[in-house]
Amino acid sequence: MAETPKPAIDKEALKKFYFSQGNNFGHFKAVQERKAVGGKHTPSLIDEPSAASPADKTTLSVGAVDLSMPSTIRDDSTAAAAPATAKVGLSGVRSLTSSKKDGADGGKLRGPAPSAASPEYFQFLKQQQELQNQHAKLEETIAQLEEHRRSHQANLTKLRRQASELITSIEESTDWKLRSKYDLSQLSRDCNLSLQAIELTGDHAPQYAGVEQLGAQLAKLRATYSEKPTYRQHALFVDQGIRRLSLLEKVLADSNLDTTEVSRIPDTLILQLEKQCALPTLESIVEGFEESIERLTFKVAEARKERAAAVEDGEVHIAEELCYNILDCHETMLKHVIDKIDAVDKAIQENVVLESVRAGYYGKTFDEFDRIRVRCRKLKSRCEDDIKKMFALREKVEEVEAQTAQKVLAERLRSDAVLTENSKKQEIVFGKMAELEKELEVLERERHREIQKRIAEKDKDEHRKAEFAQFCAIVDEHVVPLERTIKNMDVMVHAADVVNEFVTNGFDSMREELSDRLSLLRDVKLEAHKEHVEVFRGMLLELGEVVYKKERMVEETDKSIQQAHVQQELLAETFNPNAKKFGDIKKKLLANRDDLEGDIAELKERAAAALKGFAVSEEALEQAGVEFVHPATEQDHHTLAMRARMVEFKAVAAGHVEGQSILHDINSFKAELNASRAEIDAKNAATSGTISKTLPMLRAAQKARAK
């Protein structure tokens, strides 16, 4: 079943009834229809029924006035030409958006909520209502002018003066506190801002606990390691770092930054610096070995003195035992030298590892600081671009505002001229009232339309001012976080530069310390290798001398065995009972010979083991370019010298005298040996010194570094 169509509402009649202040719309509509048909109507514009029920009466209050009223009271010609009141202000800047919204709204003005308006705005509505009342009374007066022209002329003048005062009061009122829809998002769209509010630095307390903790760690490191020699190289860097970080804390206290990211970067530097300060000193590394070698050197010197005394006294068994004691001391000394070389080499490897770690983290921290600086500079540049865009837009809006204000003022002057002309015409009409009553009514309506236009313009002007004030407030409000962000980005870049300088100085200090330490370790290691040469030379010479004597004993034992065998064979040929005696002597000599050969084999094994251990020092000295005489060569030379001396003794024992050829050859051989010995001693003196020079060298290096 189709719905019954609702009757159309006569909006034009309803509008006229609304401004006529009547209380019965049915009666008012019937009167208007009679007038339209042509019936004569009373001059009064306010027709009230004689018997109206209370239900037909309506009451018009200020709170019930529609806020869109100024845009609906204009006639068709003025309503089509005038723009919507709600789109005054930035319409020149956002013309496209405003035109679309005006088209969607159908030209209707949407005012703010009554709760958002000021008392002045309600006063404006009340005054607007009073203007409507005055207009109704003027029309009533004009309608009754035919009978009461003289009596109402003074009243008409008074009403016109009151209307003029009201319009003046309306135009002078301002600060309606209208609510504007303009906000930060609209400003971002108008200015095409690149930054969102969330990207800007907020107005919160600074976070620089990481910088304070960094300074505390440096202070703790200084208090912990200030007495250690390894700290002296970094003392100036640590003191400067504590002072610079303290100054940076004061700068950060006046910012809104969170420096957690920047203060996290030097953590590795602090850890590496602490590890480097905790490294053992070179003196402590070699001190124990040096003391042991020094004690063994003293024992060797004392044993040699005792052996020389025993040889002079003919105590060969004691001398042989002392030789073995000297060899044992040399072997122990050699072990200490090799252990010292290993300890120094381990310290060198640790130094190399620290240097490689330092170099790796230094490159990473450089990249981190560069990334932070680039990010801060980009954000600062974007903030500056947004401020330029905002102020450029503000200049345009201020220019539009000035032009609009001039237009409003010119329109007001034009309206004043129209009202003045209207007043003059009304004065003329008073003299021609009888003939021009209808013209006077038309003029009054024209005056009323002009006043309504003025009211609408006033409403538009106030909305425009509210929009402009809101725009300026939003701009001023958004400038604060932008400027604060620029300031904080400058502080962040400064903080990054300070911490970067701190980290760079720290790594440079560590690099210098590690370089000096590595150089000193290598020098100590080279000295240890030289010391190895000295100890190995002493041991090898002792071994060579003992082996030579043992081999000579074997030769003498072989001769004794041969003589005993000959005697045994001679006695056995005649069955002499003494043959058994030489047989026992032969067996005893053979057993003694086996023992001697076992001792010689053991001594040679010890020499071979020492020679194998010496290969490390030999290779190191060759790589360092240190020239030295190999102890094996010296041992061979020493053996030849002993043989030459023994040959000389044998020649003398055999009865050879001075001047004979054999002694001459022996002397020539001895001269060559002495020359070779002198050359070997000179080379050894140039390349190596006495044992236990490491500690004095370390102490001298530490004093030089301290200066």
In angstroms, the CA 515 to CA 525 distance is 15
Q: Where are the domains of the chain?
A: 629-687
451 with 223: CB under 8 angstroms? no
Largest CA distance in the chain: 203
Rg (CA), the chain: 60
Neighbours of 460 (CB within 10 A): 24
In angstroms, the CA 158 to CA 51 distance is 33
The sign of the CA dihedral 17, 23, 25, 27 is negative
Task: Say what percent of the chain tops pLDDT 70.
Answer: 73
Cα–Cα distances (Å) from 101 to 68, 184, 458, 619, 680, in that order, read 16, 19, 22, 93, 109
495 with 252: CB under 8 angstroms? yes
In angstroms, the CA 29 to CA 14 distance is 8
In angstroms, the CA 701 to CA 698 distance is 5
Compute, in degrees rounded to 10, the torsion defined by CA atoms 213, 219, 221, 225: -170
Cα–Cα distances (Å) from 397 to 99, 178, 463, in that order, read 18, 19, 15
Mean pLDDT of 33-37: 69
Q: Is 57's pLDDT higher than 50?
A: no
Structure tokens at 498: 């300070």
In angstroms, the CA 205 to CA 258 distance is 9
Contacts 24+ apart (CB under 8 A), 385-389: 385/194, 386/191, 386/193, 386/194, 386/195, 386/482, 387/479, 387/482, 387/483, 389/191, 389/192, 389/193
pLDDT-based confidence at 31, cuts 50/70/90? Answer: confident
* Residue 344: closest CA among 291, 274, 293, 281: 281
3-class state of residue 103 by DSSP: helix
pLDDT-based confidence at 442, cuts 50/70/90? Answer: confident
Q: Is 40's pLDDT higher than 60?
A: no
pLDDT-based confidence at 696, cuts 50/70/90? Answer: low
Over residues 108-132, the pLDDT tens digits come to: 334 444 445 678 878 888 888 888 8
For residues 424 and 152, which has the higher predicted lDDT (pLDDT)? 424
Over residues 484-530, the pLDDT tens digits come to: 999 999 998 998 999 899 888 988 888 888 888 888 888 888 888 88
Q: How far is CA 481 from the centre of its chain?
A: 22
What is this structure's pTM? Answer: 0.55
Q: Kindly write down the DSSP assignment for every residue of 549-565, as one continuous string.
A: HHHHHHHHHHHHHHHHH
Residue labelled with tokens 């040096």: 290
The whole-number pLDDT of residue 145 equals 67
pLDDT-based confidence at 67, cuts 50/70/90? Answer: very low
In angstroms, the CA 53 to CA 58 distance is 11
Cα–Cα distances (Å) from 523 to 7, 343, 694, in that order, read 115, 13, 9
Over residues 592-607, the pLDDT tens digits come to: 888 888 888 888 888 8
Q: Is 74's pLDDT higher than 60?
A: no
Neighbours of 470 (CB within 10 A): 20
Q: Kindly write down the DSSP assignment for every residue of 242-271, as one continuous string.
A: HHHHHHHHHHHHTS--B-HHHHHTTHHHHH
Highest mean pLDDT among 71-75, 242-246, 255-259, 583-587: 242-246
For residue 314, count CB atoms less than 10 angstroms from its CB and return exposed for 0-12, middle for 13-18, buried for 19 or more.
exposed
pLDDT-based confidence at 26, cuts 50/70/90? Answer: low
Cα–Cα distances (Å) from 691 to 397, 530, 534, 538, 641, in that order, read 93, 9, 7, 11, 25
* Residue 176: closest CA among 279, 80, 253, 67: 67
The whole-number pLDDT of residue 68 equals 35
In angstroms, the CA 565 to CA 559 distance is 10
* Residue 632: closest CA among 526, 529, 539: 539
Task: Say what percent of the chain tops pLDDT 90.
Answer: 1
Over residues 680-692, the pLDDT tens digits come to: 666 666 555 444 4
In the beta sheet, which residues pair with residue 258? 207
In angstroms, the CA 76 to CA 527 distance is 113
CA atoms within 13 A on the CB side of 705: 21
For residues 409 and 427, which has the higher predicted lDDT (pLDDT)? 409
3-class state of residue 631 by DSSP: helix
In angstroms, the CA 39 to CA 60 distance is 30
Buried b (16+ CB within 10 A) or exposed e, 51-61: eeeeeeeeeee
In angstroms, the CA 602 to CA 551 distance is 13
* Residue 46: closest CA among 19, 66, 73: 19
In angstroms, the CA 173 to CA 169 distance is 6
Query: What does pLDDT average to over the chain?
Result: 75
266 with 503: CB under 8 angstroms? yes
Q: Is 83's pLDDT higher than 60?
A: no
* Residue 610: closest CA among 331, 327, 294: 331
3-class state of residue 77 by DSSP: helix
In angstroms, the CA 698 to CA 696 distance is 5
Q: Kindly write down the DSSP assignment for every residue of 350-388, as one continuous string.
A: HHHHHHHHHHHHHHHHHHHHHHHHHHHHHHHHHHHHHHH
Phi, psi for 353 (deg, rounded to 5): -60, -45
In angstroms, the CA 664 to CA 278 distance is 67
Please state at what angle helix 316-431 crosses helix 267-277, rounded to 10 degrees. 160
